[in-house]
Structure 1
């Protein structure tokens, strides 16, 4: 008569690994990538940036908010800058914009800045995104803080280094204030005759003023 032997460990070896985790190896509570995982990460990033600001937001914090593994955030976006650009729905990568601004002679820097900035607003998609962003910035302190921290690191600091002392950061900030004032006047308030001025005329009028900030 044969006697059946009991399992050696007293539990099934098929459902758990030696570490106590599911046999799949995934940590509990973290979902794998799905059809809309990217969109969920963007939504979580937007919420986390608004709550914590750009500087205090980490990719791990966004992953926790989205309920996914941090590796998925890296897979879809690579880094925090890329995630910020996507979450804020920016029409142009600010790092590329900064690189184009500083690529050229200093004497033409003012014209390059104005041409690139207004060029973003002049496209239909760019105007829609920038209008939404500007309205959010002026109505929400959380969004304003996020944009301020993100754009400072990606645009204002590289431009400040190119401008050089003295007061490089102040002058870069004044340039930003001047340009956003023009954008508010032309595209949101639509104040005449700024609103219907020809783009080339507008650039010709504004560029010398921006160059004055640069030259100090």
Structure 2
């Protein structure tokens, strides 16, 4: 099942069907900013506003689908994909606490998944407006999967929100060293570094 697409704060949707990880001003992303290719026939816009968009597979939208996916996850407690699908559906349907619960289960099943840990952090940073609470999950993501680019981007965003620009810059520098240039997050990390460097020079 396709991962749900959830925009990060400050990101806008691409008009085209190809959706990429957030980090620039014109992208729509999924829960943890992995690149997703999908089509209009299989997705639906759940909500828009504030220059952002939430898009999800139709199979995850609505209370009935959410309950169905939760039942599958509960019946298959060791199935990573089932937990992620339930979490995605809960998130897109606005049940943040359930999403957190299922993302935590997924991370416990596959602790090396940068995707799961980052998605969990996003629930706190983007949905609960608790960037400080999100930081340990992003750090865990980087620890478990140092090549997962969006974990660095999200962690840096959390630090920026907390006005810890120097820490954000350190995280981006680390990401640029560990993430492949072909990773969808790499260009966004480069852009963030440029923005952070501009802020640093402007504050002198």
Both structures adopt the same fold (TM-score exceeding 0.5)? no
Structure number with higher relative contact order (C-alpha < 8 Å, ≥ 6 residues apart): 1
Structure with more helix by fraction: 1
Structure with more strand by fraction: 2
Bigger Cα Rg: 1
Return the TM-score normalized by structure 1.
Answer: 0.28
